[in-house]
Structure 1
Amino acid sequence: MKNIGGLLLALLLLLAAPGARAQKFGWVDSEFIMGKMPEYAKAQVELNALSDTWQKELEAQKKDLDKLYRTYQAEEVVLTEPMKKKRQDEILKKEQDIKAYQNKQFGYEGQIFKKRQELNKPVQDKIFEACEKVAKKKALAVLFDKSGDMTMLYTNPAHDYTEFVLEELGLGAEDRNQPAKKGPVTTVAPPKTPIDPNFETDSGAPEPAAGTKAPPKTTRPVKKGAK
């Protein structure tokens, strides 16, 4: 998944080809995906157990070396020259054995390195297959690995297909790549038009304000004899 040469070559060929601008590209974070896989977590537990065992063996050898050296210092004054040489050779041999054991277990391409490759390969193969399926479904020309050797200075989230790969592996989150749930439908009552108490209607009398009673009507007295 970190074949940077192949990725760059594929990208250059696509950019040089006619209609390259129409090609779709995307990226994923393989380390994030691996961290979500139970197989990877199980492999790490096994790898850590082996590392602890080998580390304890290394510490035991270092203690033996320290014991040899302290014994030599305590008895040096009573030892003959041939005996001193023999003890010194034993200490030197022990130091060389410890370095050899450390390189064998923890050095470059040592046992821990080989075991990590062995345990992680099935996980990486599953991720690769899922990436291939997503790339075909989404019609992607190139799918980059953000966790790879190639430095990606900027990644647009719109081109992030990590979650799609997780879904392909059956590890997708329920709150990702899903339509939003519809909320409850609410109705809003239209606002009431306020009534100005000083506003006169066509009859000439002001309309009563909301929540107040209309004033009683008054009539003029009628003079006697008036028609």
Structure 2
Amino acid sequence: MKKAIKLTLAVALMLSATSLFAQKFGRINSQEILLAMPETKEMETNLQAYAKDLQDNLETIAVEFNQKLADFQKNYATYSDSVRQLKERELQELQNRRQEFEQVAQQDIQKKQQELLTPIIEKAKAAIDKVAKENGYMAIFETGSLAAFDEAALTDLAPQVRTELGITDAPAAQ
């Protein structure tokens, strides 16, 4: 009876080991795919335009501050104490407004980048998933990740994913 159990266990282990070796594994550099997508280039252009608009607004505030500061310094001696305090407070408020705007602008740029990048990542992931499913891959590993595996032993899915996404230009040099 013990021999039958041992034999059954040995056969089960051999079958699971051989089925593991029959599985297909792939690799992909998703960063390379994302950078090659035309949507990414369009996103970068849109993000730069958005950032430039915010930068222009920031420069407008800075010019206003500099003009008021120059006027304050020029006329400092002619101002009464109450006018001087009012002008100093106005300059401080304008400087605070500029700093707040700069912080909000940085957060807005990050939000806009995430907003524009999310659909691109989803499209790339869908293409990777489709290629993996169509070709029977059990797992796809990210090239360059911290996990240790033999990249040469894995099939590179990048050419198929690039075709799926309609990317025709050559991959960027690493």
TM-score, normalised relative to structure 2 = 0.74
2:165 matches 1:169: yes
Structure 2 match to 1:27: 27
- 2:139 is aligned, of 142, 167, 172, to 142
Distance 2:152 2:169 in 1: 17
Higher-Rg member (1/2) = 1
SS in structure 2 of the partner of residue 134 of structure 1? helix
**Pair 1:41–1:155, CA change in 2 (3 A):** farther
Query: Percent identity at matched positions?
Result: 24
C-alpha displacement of 1:145: 3.2
Distance 2:148 2:60 in 1: 46
**Structure with the larger RCO, 1 or 2 (CA within 8 Å, 6+ apart):** 2
Q: Does the CA-based 8 Å contact 1:58-1:102 persist in structure 2?
A: yes
Count of aligned residue pairs for this structure pair: 152
**Pair 1:54–1:155, CA change in 2 (3 A):** farther
TM-score, normalised relative to structure 1 = 0.58
Distance 1:139 1:52 in 2: 46
Distance 1:51 1:141 in 2: 42
C-alpha displacement of 1:157: 4.6
Distance 1:135 1:172 in 2: 20
- Counting helix residues as a fraction of each chain, which structure ranks higher? 2
Equivalence map 1:62-211=2 (5 Å): 62-106=62-106, 110-146=107-143, 150-151=145-146, 156-159=151-154, 160-172=156-168
Unaligned runs of 5+ in 2: 1-15
Unaligned runs of 5+ in 1: 1-17, 175-227
Distance 2:74 2:169 in 1: 65
C-alpha displacement of 1:87: 1.0
What do residues 11-30 of structure 1 show as CA deviations (whole Å, max 9, x unaligned)?
xxxxxxx6496354333222
What do residues 42-73 of structure 1 show as CA deviations (whole Å, max 9, x unaligned)?
22221111111111111111111111112111
